[in-house]
Amino acid sequence: MGVFFLCIPSGDGQSESSPFLTPDSDGEHYYEGKNMALFEEEMDSNPMVSSFLNKLANYTNLTQGVREHEEAEDGVRRMTVMVPLMGTFIGVYLPCMQNILGVILFLRLTWIVGTAGILGSFAIVSMCCICTLLTAISMSAIATNGVVPAGGSYYMISRSLGPEFGGAVGLCFYLGTTFAGSLYILGIIEILLTYIIPTATLFEEDAAMLNNMRVYGTCCLVLMALVVFVGVKYVNKLALVFLACVILSIMATYAGVIKTIIEPPEFNVCLLGNRSLKNEKFDTCAKTEVVKNLTVTTELWSLFCDSKYSNTTCDEYFTLNNLTEIQAIPGLLSGVIKGALHDHLGIIDHSIMAGSNRSGDLKDAQKSIPIGTIMAILTTSFIYISFVVLFGACIEGVVLRDKFGYSVKKIPVIGILAWPSPWVIVIGSFFSCCGAGLQSLTGAPRLLQAIARDGIIPFLQVSVTGVLYQPSPSASGLSQVFGHGKANGEPTWALLLTVGICEIGILIASVDNVAPILSMFFLMCYLFVNLACAVQTLLGTPNWRPRFKFYHWSLSFLGMSLCLSLMFICSWYYALVAIVIAGCIYKYIEYKGAVKEWGDGIRGLSLNAARYALIRLEEAPPHTKNWRPQLMVLCKMNSDLLVKHPRLLSLTTQLKAGKGLTIVCSVLDGTYMTRANDNLKTAMAVEKTKGFSHVVVSSNLRNAFSLLIQSAGLGGMKHNAVLMAWPADWKLALGSLARRNFIETVRETTSANQAMLVAKNIDRFPSNQERLKDGNIDVWWIVHDGGLLMLLPFLLKQHKVWKKCTMRIFTVAQMDDNSIQMKKDLQMFLYQLRLDAEVEVVEMHDSDISAFTYEKTLMMEQRSQMLKQMHLSRTEREREIQSITDVSRGSIKRKKQSAVHAPPLNIMCIPEEEVSMSNVRRMHTAVKLNEVVVKKSKNSELVLLNMPGPPKNKKGDENYMEFLEVLMEGLDRVLLVRGGGREVVTIYS
C-alpha cells in the first residue's frame, strides 16, 4: 500500500505577463526584447554561488498561477516575475523530489517490506517505478511539443485527446489531488497522535482512534484552508523548510544504515511466541523476575492475567508461549536479509504509485521538464528500491510488520533506524505532510479553475443561485463560478468545493483506505497521458514535433497497460468506480459540453479512420443485407436563413433511427462571395440531426439541385435516397418553379437509381420529443418497389416516437385473384422477412388501377405471380422468392435486361393525340384508389403510398401533380415512396 508521486510540470517557462518590466519615469527598468541583452548581461555578472543561493531562497513548488495571486495580494500589481530564472534543478528536480518522497515512504514502506518480503516489495516498487518512468517519457514528449500553460496534465490530455477525454480525466485528476490532501492531513494527524502527542487523544478506546482522526483532521483541514485562503505566500515561504525536512530525513536514514555496520542501535523487542508486544506499559520482557531472592510476577504478567499471583487465570496464548527478547535492528551485516526475502510474501492491496501535478517556471521549459522529471523519478526510484533492500537487511521482519511502531515504544520503525535521533524522521515526516497537504489544497482549486475557464463542462459554469453565468469577453471566464474568486483571481468557490471533497477523505479516517482512492484517479490520468502520446505518435500529424526524442509509441502503450493493470491490482472495485465516473463525465461533456476544436488526436484518429474506410468502401451498390436509407434532405430556407420545414429534419432522424448517412442540403439564390457563411448547422443542432450540411449558392436553382443529387457524398459514402417536402403551393402562380423543380428532381433520382421520399403536410409530423401512444402506420403496397415500403415503417418503429404504433399492410387484388390465398401468401412473405404487420387485401377492378402502373417497375401481375409461387415447398419457395427479388435488384444493366426478357407489361404508351383521354384514365385511378385509402386509413398516424413516376412527355407535368394531389386528398400525414430500382429487404440472414 502506498503512493508514489510522479511530478508533471505544466508551465512552459513563461508567465502570461512579460517577465521584463516596462520603463517607468526613472528609466531604470527594461523594455521587453529591446534591452534583453542588458538584462542577460546583468544576470551573467552575478557570482554563481550568490545566484544559486538567491534561487534557493526563492524556491517554491507552487504553480505559476499561485505566485501571481501572491503578488496581487500585496495591493500592487507587479509585472516582474523571478521564476523564469529557475533552471532544471530548482524549477523541476527539487519540486518533483519533494512530492514523490512523502507520507508513504516514512509511514508505510517498512510495513510493506515486512508484509511482502524484500522480493515482493522489490517487484511492486519496480513495477510502479517503471510505470511512472514510462509515463514521464510520454509526458516529456507531449510537454515539449509546444507551449503547456496552466493546467498541466489536464491541458496536455485535453489538447491531445479532445475536450471529452480532457474534461473527464481533468476532473478525475482534480479529485485525486483533492484526496491527496486528505491523505496528507490524515498522515499529519497519525504522526501527531501516535508519536508526538499521544496524550492528546479525545477518545481513549482503540476503536475510537478513527474518531480522533476525524475530529483533528477536520480541524487541520479548516486551518490549512484558512492559510490558503488568506494568502498562499505563507505557504510559499515555508516551501524550502518542507524540502529541507524531506532531505534531512532521507540522509538520516542512510546515515543510520551505515551506523548499523559499526554499532547497531540498542532497540529490543519483546516477543510472545512469534508476536511482538506493545512495550509502553512494561519494562521487563519476562513473565516473572527475582526480587530480593523472591520470584514475583512482572508488569507484563498483569496485562494478560487476572491478578499478579502465579496461580491466577491467564490468557491461553500467554500461558502456552514463551517470552523472548530480540534486537530490533541487528544491522546490515547480521544476515537478517536471508529471512526477509520472501518468508512473508503476501498480497498488497494498494499501489505504491500515484501522481501529482506540479509546474515550474523555467528559463527553458522544453529542456528542463524532461530532464528534471526523469532524473527526479530515477533518483526517487533508487531511494525507494534501496530502502526496500536496506529495511529488509537491517530490521527484523516482526518489527517491520509493526505498522505503527508499538513494539519499539511508539516510534516509527524507520525512526529507530535513523541517525542521530528518531525525532529527525518524526519531525521531518510531519512537516513533509504539512507541506504536501498545503500544496494539494493550493493546487487542486487552480486545476478546477483551469477546467472551468475552458468552458467544456456546463455544470461548472452554474452560479450558486442556479443561474448560468454569461461572462463578457473582457471577463476572461472569471465570472464562471469556479473560475471566479477574490480580486486577485484566487479561486474562492473552487477552494470551498475542494475543502468539502477533502472532508470526505478525512471522514474515512484511514491513510490505508484513502490511498487507493487517489491512486485510482492518478493512475487514470497517467493512462491517458500515455494514450495521448501513443495516439499522436501513430497519427504522425505535422504538428507533432516534440523536442524530446527519446520516446516511442510502444513504450507509451506499455505504460498505459501497466497503469490499467495497477488500477485493478490495487483495488478492482475502486478501479471500476473510477472508470464509471470518468465515463459518465465523458458522456456528459459529449452530450452537453461546449463544442471545442483543439486539433486533438482523437479527431485526427477519426479522420484517418474515415479516410481508410472510404478508400476501402466500394462505390458499387451495397448488398441487400447492408442497405439502409442514406438520406439527402432537400430543405428550403426563408429570408432569415431558417429552415422552412424543421420537422423534415425530425423525420430524417426518425427514419434513420440515429444511424446512416444524412446530408442536409439547401440552395440559396445569389453568389458564393456574398453568402458563403450561410449554413444549416444551427437548424441541425436544434433538431438534433447528426449529419452533414451542404449549402449551394447559385443563381440557377434548378441546376444547383441537379448538381447536389449527382455529386453529394464522397466515394462510396453517397446518398441512396432523397427526402423532400410536398410542394403544397404548386397550384399558385408563383408555384410553377416549385412544380418544375419537384418533377425534375423525381426524374433525376429515378435516373440515378435513387429512392425518393416525399412528405405531405410535413409540419404536422411529430417532433423527436413527441410520443405516439397508439395508432397505425399504413402501407399501401400497389407495385413492388424492392421492399422499401415495408422497410421504412420498420425503421420508424425503431424510434421512440413511433415505437407503439401498429404496422398494417394493404395490397390491391384484381377481381380474378384469390384474395384469401393472396393474404395467406403475403402473411407468409412477411413472416420470412421477419416483419410484424397486419395484412389486408383490397379488391379493385383492373380498370380502376391500371393507370397507376404505367411505369417500368415490377407490375401488379408480376407481384401476383410472385405471391402465387409461394405455393411451392418451403425450400423451393424461399429459393424462388429470393431469385425474384435478386432479379429485381439493382443496377441499370439488370433493369434493362429485365425489361427485355420480362413478360409484356401493361404500360400506357399514349400518343400525343390521346393525352386528354389518358389524363382522364389517370385521374379516374387516383379518385378510385383515394376512396379506398381514405376509407381504410383516414385516422392512421401515417400512410405510405407508392409514388408513380412522372410522364415522359413534360406537357403532362401539371396533370401528374394533380394526380398525386387527388391520390393524397383527405389524408393527414402521407409519405410518398418511390423505390430506387434495387431490392432492399431479403428473407435470408
Show the 3-state SS of 737-787. HHHHHHHHHHHHHHHCCCEEEEEECHHHCCCCCCCCCCCEEEEEECCECCC
Q: Of the CATH numbers 3.40.50.620, 3.30.230.10, 3.40.50.150, 3.20.20.10, which one belongs to the domain with range 624-762? A: 3.40.50.620
**Crossing angle for the helix pair 239-262 and 365-394, nearest 10 degrees?**
40
Give the range among 534-548, 591-605, 919-933 with minimum mean pLDDT.
Answer: 591-605
Instruction: Determine contact, residues 174/451, Cβ cutoff 8 Å.
Output: yes
Backbone angles phi, psi at 577, to 5 degrees: -60, -45
| Distance in angstroms (rounded) separating the CA atoms of residues 833 and 830 | 5
Cα–Cα distance, 778 to 792 (Å, whole number)? 11
CA distances from 455 to 241, 406, 713 (A): 38, 52, 34
Q: How confident is the model at residue 527 (pLDDT cuts 50, 70, 90)?
A: very high
* Cell numbers found for residue 595: 463544442
- Give the whole-number percent of the chain exceeding pLDDT 90: 22
**Per-residue pLDDT averaged across 852-867, rounded?**
42
Ranges in the chain annotated CATH 1.20.1740.10: 58-70+83-261+347-462+482-570
Coil, strand or helix at 155: helix
- 836: which 3 cell numbers? 410484424
Q: Compute the Cα dihedral for 357, 361, 366, 370 and give only its sign.
A: negative
For the chain, the C-alpha Rg in angstroms (whole number) is: 40
Q: Which residues contact 217 (CB under 8 A, 6 or more apart)?
A: 182, 185, 186, 189, 506, 509
The dihedral through the CA atoms of 501, 507, 510, 516 has a sign that is negative
C-alpha–C-alpha distance, residues 188 and 183, integer Å = 9
For the chain, how far is it from start to end, CA to CA, in angstroms?
A: 54
Which region among 538-542, 594-598, 655-659 has the lowest average model confidence (pLDDT)? Answer: 594-598
Say which amino acid occupies 805.
C
Q: What does the CA dihedral 890, 896, 898, 899 come to, rounded to 10 degrees?
A: 130
- Which carries the bigger pLDDT value, residue 382 or residue 281? 382
Binning the chain into helix, strand and coil, the percentages to the nearest 5 are 55, 10, 35
The pLDDT of residue 895 is 39
Q: Kindly report, residue by residue over 152-179, the tens digit of the pLDDT.
A: 667 777 777 778 888 888 888 899 999 9
For residue 890, the model assigns a pLDDT of 41
DSSP 242-283: HHHHHHHHHHHHHHHHHHHHH-----EEEEETTEE---SS-S
Q: Dihedral angle at the C-alpha atoms of 208, 210, 216, 218, nearest 10 degrees?
A: -130
For residue 903, say if its preceding peptide bond is cis, omega within 30 degrees of 0: no
Which of 340-344, 350-354, 428-432, 974-978 is the least confident region?
350-354
Q: Are 332 and 261 in contact (CB under 8 A)?
A: yes
pLDDT at 275 exceeding the cut of 70: yes
Name the residue with cell 429552415. Answer: 643
pLDDT of 77 reads 46
Handedness of CA 710, 716, 719, 720 (dihedral sign): positive
Tell me the pLDDT band of 801, cut-offs 50, 70 and 90.
very high
Q: Within the chain, what is the greatest distance between any pair of CA atoms? A: 146
Q: Phi, psi (5° rounding) for residue 974?
A: -130, 140
Say which DSSP state 198 is in.
Answer: G
Q: Assign 561 a pLDDT band (cuts: 50, 70, 90).
A: very high
pLDDT of 876 strictly over 60: no
Task: Report the SS3 class of residue 102.
Answer: coil
CB 780 within 8 A of CB 946: yes
Answer yes or no: are the C-beta atoms of 3 and 103 closer than 8 Å.
Answer: yes
Q: What is the pLDDT of residues 625-636, one digit of tens each?
A: 767 788 899 988
Distance between CA atoms of residues 26 and 46, nearest Å: 23
Question: How far is 248 from 232, CA to CA, in rounded Å?
Answer: 25
| DSSP single-letter state for residue 661 | -
Residues whose CB falls within 8 Å of the CB of residue 871, separated by 6 or more in sequence, listed in order:
825, 877
DSSP letter for each residue of 782-808: -SB-SSHHHHHHHHHHTSTTTTTPEEE
Instruction: Give the DSSP H/E element, type plus range, for residue 694.
Output: strand 692-698
Please give the backbone phi and psi of residue 813, each rounded to the nearest 5 degrees, phi first. Answer: -110, 150
769 alpha carbon, distance to own chain's centre: 27
Which residue type sits at 85? L
CATH architecture of 771-886+918-984: 3-Layer(aba) Sandwich (3.40)
For 201-253, write each residue's pLDDT tens digit. 888 766 678 899 999 999 999 999 998 888 767 777 777 888 888 899 999 99
- The H or E element spanning position 838 is strand 838-843
Mean pLDDT across the chain: 76
Segment 648-654 shows an average pLDDT of: 89
Burial class (CB in 10 A: 0-12, 13-18, 19+), 625: exposed
pLDDT at 30: 34
Block residue for cell numbers 505498522: 403
For cell 471533497, name the residue. 501
Q: Report, as an integer, the average pLDDT of 851-880.
A: 45
The answer to whether residues 120 and 342 touch, using CB atoms and an 8 Å cutoff, is yes
Contacts of 615 (CB under 8 A, 6+ apart): 715
pLDDT at 840 over 50: yes
What are 959's three cell numbers? 396533370
Domain ranges in the chain with CATH number 3.40.50.620: 624-762
Which residues, other chains included, contact 29 with Cβ-Cβ below 8 Å and sequence gap of 6+?
21, 22, 23
- pLDDT at position 474 is 36
- The tens digit of pLDDT for each residue in 96-116 reads 888 788 888 998 999 999 988
Q: Is the distance from CB of 708 to CB of 671 less than 8 angstroms?
A: no
What whole-number distance in Å separates Cα of residue 763 and Cα of residue 979? 24
Selected residue with higher pLDDT from 108 and 50:
108
Question: Would you say 114 and 405 are in contact if contact means Cβ atoms under 8 Å apart?
Answer: no
* Cα–Cα distance, 796 to 765 (Å, whole number): 12
CATH of domain 58-70+83-261+347-462+482-570: 1.20.1740.10
Q: Is 696 in a helix, a strand, or coil? A: strand
| pLDDT value, residue 861 | 40
The answer for 390, left when phi > 0, alpha when psi is -120 to 50, beta otherwise, is: alpha
- How far apart CA 593 and CA 821 sit, in angstroms, is 58
Highest-scoring range by mean pLDDT, 581-590, 673-682, 762-771: 762-771
Lowest mean pLDDT among 212-221, 410-419, 566-575, 735-744: 735-744
Query: 140: closest CA among 447, 485, 665, 548?
Result: 548
How sure is the predictor about 69, in pLDDT bands with cuts at 50, 70 and 90?
very low
Residue partners of 476: CB distance under 8 A and separation at least 6 = 453
Give pLDDT tens digits for 940-987: 999 999 888 888 777 778 888 888 888 898 898 999 999 877 767 777
Q: Is the dihedral of CA 468, 471, 477, 480 positive or negative?
A: negative
Write the pLDDT tens digit of every residue in 421-444. Answer: 999 999 999 998 998 898 889 888
565 has a pLDDT exceeding 70: yes
At residue 176, φ and ψ (nearest 5 deg) are -60, -45
CA distances for 848 relative to 303, 769, 813, 830, 931, angstroms: 110, 41, 11, 27, 11
Is residue 777 within 8 A of residue 798, CB to CB? The reply is no
DSSP state of 396: -
Q: Is the pLDDT of residue 11 over 60?
A: no
Q: Decide: residue 772, CB within 10 A, 0-12 exposed, 13-18 middle, 19+ buried.
A: middle
Position 381 confidence tier, pLDDT thresholds 50, 70, 90: very high
Q: Could you tell me the pTM of the whole model?
A: 0.69
SS3 214: helix
pLDDT, residue 430, reads 93
The residue type found at 434 is C
Burial of 566 per CB tally in 10 Å (0-12, 13-18, 19+): buried
Quote the pLDDT of residue 802.
Answer: 92
